[in-house]
Amino acid sequence: MNNPANVPPIRDPRFANWDALDPTSRQLFALKRLLREEQIDPAELYGEGFTSVDHLSRWSVSWGIGYLDAAQEARYINQGRDRIAREREENVEQAMKAMIAMHYRSRRHA
């Protein structure tokens, strides 16, 4: 079992001894999927002492899943925020164009 340098120590008693246990196959599958989706090099994520995803402790895998889930969620939130900002700008631009067109139409008929 491996607990690389970037993995924080266990502070929650619910996870006692997880740093000495093998990860579950479900955990490993989830971690590998997230690493692939996020295009993260596991050696960069885990830091010094990392050898292989398959050699990580249950705690290290759990921490990695939580970290990558949070990063993915933050990215989705930021993408949504950016999309909303773009839509607002486009709406303002369309409203301005409509006002300008109305102004010129009203001047032609005056």
Number of domains into which the chain is organized: 1
Quick: pLDDT tens for 43-70. Answer: 999 999 999 999 999 999 999 999 999 9
Residue 7 lies in a domain: no
Quick: pLDDT tens for 76-87. Answer: 888 888 888 888
Residue 1 lies in a domain: no
**Average pLDDT along the chain:** 91
What is the pTM assigned to this prediction?
Answer: 0.72
Is pLDDT of 1 > 80?
A: no
Domain range holding 71? Answer: 17-108
Residue 91 lies in a domain: yes
Residue 9 lies in a domain: no
HEC sequence for the chain: CECCCCCCCCCCHHHCCHHHCCCCHHHHHHHHHHHHHHCCCHHHHHCCCCCCHHHECHHHHHHHHHHHHHHHHHHHHHHHHHHHHHHHHHHHHHHHHHHHHHHHHHHHCC
Residue 21 structure tokens: 């246990």
What is the structure's pLDDT at 52? Answer: 94
Quick: pLDDT tens for 23-35. Answer: 999 999 999 999 9
Decide if 4 contacts 46 (C-beta within 8 A): yes
Residue 88 lies in a domain: yes
Residue 4 lies in a domain: no
Could you give the CA distance from residue 47 to residue 37 in angstroms, rounded to a whole number? 19
Residue 50 lies in a domain: yes
